[in-house]
Amino acid sequence: MTARPTAPSGHVDGLMPDDPTVLEAPEAFDPPAPRDPRSTPPPGADSPPAGLDAPTGTPDASNPAGSPWAPPGTAPPGASVAGAPAAGGVAAGNPWAVGTAGGGTAGAGAATGLRTRSGAVALLVRSWRQLTSMRTALVLLFLLAFFAVPGSLIPQRNINPMKVEQYIADHPTIAPWLERVSAFGVFGSPWFSAVYLLLFISLIGCLWSRVIWHARALFTAPPKAPARPGRLPGGSSWTSSLDAAEAVARARGVLRKRRFRVAVAGADARRPDGSPDHSAAAEKGFLRETGNLVFHIALVVMLAGVGLGSWFGYQGSVLVITGNGFANTLIAYDTYSGGALVDPVDLPPFSMTLDTFEATYQDNGQPADFRADVTYAEDLDSPTKTATVRVNHPLKVGNAKIYLVGHGYAPHFVLRDKAGEVVWESYVPCTPRDGMFTSTCTVKIPDTGLPATGALKEPQQLAFSGVFTPTTVLKPGHGYVSTYPAATAPGLTITGFVGNLHLNEGIPQNVYTVDTRDMTQFTMTGPAGENLIAQVVAPNNPKQRTLTGLPGGLSLEVDGVREFATFQTKSDPYKGLVLGASIAIIAGLIASLRVRRRRVWVRATPLAGGGCTVEIGGLSRSDAQGFATELTTVAQAIRDDTAPDESAPDESAPDAPAPDEHVRDETARDETAKDHTAKDRTARDDAAGAAAVPGDTDVTGTDVTGTDMSGSGAVGTDAVGTGAAETAAATSTTSEDAATSTTSEREP
């Protein structure tokens, strides 16, 4: 038996699923067509491709090639086939080519209306198919993930420009090369954007054909039932007393209850032999492909949402000391990054003030809670409102959200001249370095009132560098350290420099570091002693917080500490779209992994004496073991509904078995059939032995036929033969019943 040629499962170049009209079983679909004995291929002839029946035919006028294997359309002897293009790209010289150009002569393509593509168009088509293939999409997805790695390992300029400058200063050799390849702006680099865009196009191209196919498949009837569905793996058959049409109708009802989409052959449908077609085709599991499409479409939507958010969104970070505030303007932010289509002038004009900040800690120093009480206004003319900002509980103002992302301490420095007048004063934030909030402080004072020195009249500016400890303890061998993050006993170890800070040259500097190349360290007098380069001050102790002996008779006082909070303002107008797409991705993935495609066919064949034979079979693209169990359950349900003579009791027969004794009665019939077979075999052996004894011939002849004893030998022999034949027939019938019973028992 040869198999109908089937299309390969899946699609090589894309995400195209299998055609629902193509059946996947290699056998038992249609009975083999009668084959002409003369169609045997001659020696040396090409063999047909695997899965295709050899074409039949005889040499005649319609087959000028003179070979029974030359299909219509091949060139006759002596004709040129070099210029005969084959439909679908099949070579015309191949005797198994289907759909070759007729005649095989040059210019046949023009006669048949075939179109040829130019080289540029063909290259464009091949490139598009390659770009929209699943393999290319996977490669692009891998490249996107791979190219995103540098963005997490190397500081990015749009996130923290100060870290970028520090990285460049620490790596003077490799930093210029990283700058050339946009390593400090990975996610906005041309090569990352190119991969992102190609992946976007590839996914859209892959999905377009799949969506069209799936939309058509949803409104396409299931494939017709094969000729013998019972021969499929896990298939079964049984005899029913119902009419064939009624049996199929009941099977349809059972399948519909199990959420199958069922198509029943029409009343005028005919099989190849002309008999009525009583069959039903059912399938379910389209939610699997729907979930798969939802997953990929949602992935595209999420990528689009992320891309649109990067174009129309913005974010900025600002450090706010308690009692101060900021406005949503470009100059107010310490770091700012806006989308390509965002104009900083058009930012929403909201403002916010940090009223109080409270941080609570556990006994071991672990943070317990951070609370920032703020006052804000949504617009210039809007009334002020109060709110509390916590970690992961941002303040929403319009389309923007304000997050609490960090905090620390800011000592208050006051610089005085000889007369005690304030020259400069400010709160200076310190950068935390560990969990106990040991922090580094950098103070830069450009306007000190000191006269310029040197031929170039360089300004004399002051700079201080120190270490702030919230809970200060002197640890032998380590100096002053912090043992608790709360400011219960604040202390500051500080040293000073004088010289040119180059702050007036317009060159950006890191406010948290001091360039001491053009500066000189000086000594001070303070709580630690006189004329020392390092002093320790206690802001909460008025007697231990002032430093004297600075250049020009200046003095420095650290008279207090406030806490600061770092806020991040972020506006992403498409975050809702990304969230919805993420939920759809999860839902689609669950559906594509949990749902299974199923196809079930039922065929009823009328019997000559009434009733019909019901066959059922099915196929599944995955989870064969689970489908075998499901098919068995479905077959049993249809069998119970279409075989009332076996499952329902007969009221006219008082000893008829109950429906729940069906399987037990079949087992009893099988045992009885086996017993009868053994007894018949014994009777046949006894009868054969009696025929072989001469003295018993007349008795056998008299008992069986009652004829004259003179012909008893012949008559007795015939009688014994007749009895043996009847016994054999009975045995055969009993064996068939036993086989039928065994087949019935095979089905649960």
What pLDDT is attached to residue 570? 92
pTM over 0.75: no
CA distance 521 to 100: 94
CA dihedral 129, 133, 137, 143 (to 10 degrees): -70
The owner of tokens 């917080």 is 545
Instruction: Return the SS3 of 582.
Output: helix
pLDDT attached to residue 691: 39
CB 334 within 8 A of CB 317: yes
The amino acid occupying position 667 is T
DSSP bridge pairs for 370: 359
Residue type, 154: I
Q: What is the pLDDT of residue 160?
A: 72
Nearest to 261 by CA among 288, 293, 313, 223: 223
All residues at 6 or more sequence positions from 568 whose CB lies less than 8 Å from its CB, including other chains: 315, 316, 317, 402, 403, 405
Angle, alpha carbons 530-534-535 (nearest 5°): 65
Q: 229-285+596-647 maps to which CATH number?
A: 3.30.310.50
Q: Which two tokens stand for residue 577?
A: 């779209």
Low-confidence ranges of the chain (pLDDT < 50): 1-114, 646-670, 672, 676, 683-684, 686-748
Nearest to residue 244, comparing CAs of 618, 608, 603, 616?
Answer: 603
Structure tokens at 332: 């107010």
CA distance to 111, 273, 360, 391, 620, per residue, from 363 (Å)? 93, 91, 10, 20, 62
Burial class (CB in 10 A: 0-12, 13-18, 19+), 703: exposed
**SS3 at position 151:** helix
Closest C-alpha among 647, 645, 646, 643 to residue 614: 643
Half-sphere exposure of 593 (CA within 13 A, CB side): 7
For residue 470, give every residue at least 6 positions away whose Cβ sits within 8 Å of its Cβ, in sequence order, or none.
409, 436, 437, 438, 482, 484, 485, 486, 487, 488, 489, 490
Q: Torsion-angle region of residue 305: left (phi > 0), alpha (psi -120 to 50) or beta?
A: alpha
| pLDDT attached to residue 281 | 95
Residue with tokens 């020392």: 532
Distances (CA, A) of 639 to 236, 323, 619, 632, 664: 10, 83, 19, 10, 16
Structure token digits, residue 447: 């306007």
Q: Are 27 and 619 in contact (CB under 8 A)?
A: no
User: Strand pairing partners for 400?
Assistant: 397, 571
For residue range 659-698, what is the model confidence (pLDDT) as tens digits?
Answer: 344 434 444 444 545 554 555 555 445 444 443 434 333 3
Pairing of strands 400-416, 555-571: antiparallel
Degrees to nearest 5, angle at CA 582 with 577 and 584: 95
What tokens appear for 157 in the block? Answer: 């300029």
pLDDT in the model for residue 503: 84
Instruction: Write out pLDDT tens, residues 580-617.
Output: 999 999 999 999 988 888 999 999 999 998 899 999 99
All residues at 6 or more sequence positions from 272 whose CB lies less than 8 Å from its CB, including other chains:
30
For tokens 């990285």, the residue is 167
- Angle at alpha carbon of residue 152, lines to 151 and 157, rounded to 5°: 55
Exposure of 649 by Cβ count < 10 A (0-12 exposed, 13-18 middle, 19+ buried)?
A: middle
Residues 6+ apart with CB under 8 A from 515: 501, 502, 509
- What are the tokens at 672? 């009885």
Separation between Cα atoms, residue 325 and residue 352, nearest integer Å: 5
Runs of H (alpha helix) within 132-240: 134-147, 149-153, 161-170, 175-180, 190-218
Looking at the DSSP bridge assignments, the partners of residue 620 are 598
- How is the chain split among helix, strand and coil, in percent rounded to 5? 35, 25, 40
Residue 18 is predicted with a pLDDT of 44
Burial 379-404 (b: 16+ CB within 10 A, else e): eeeeeeeebebeeeebbebeebbbbb
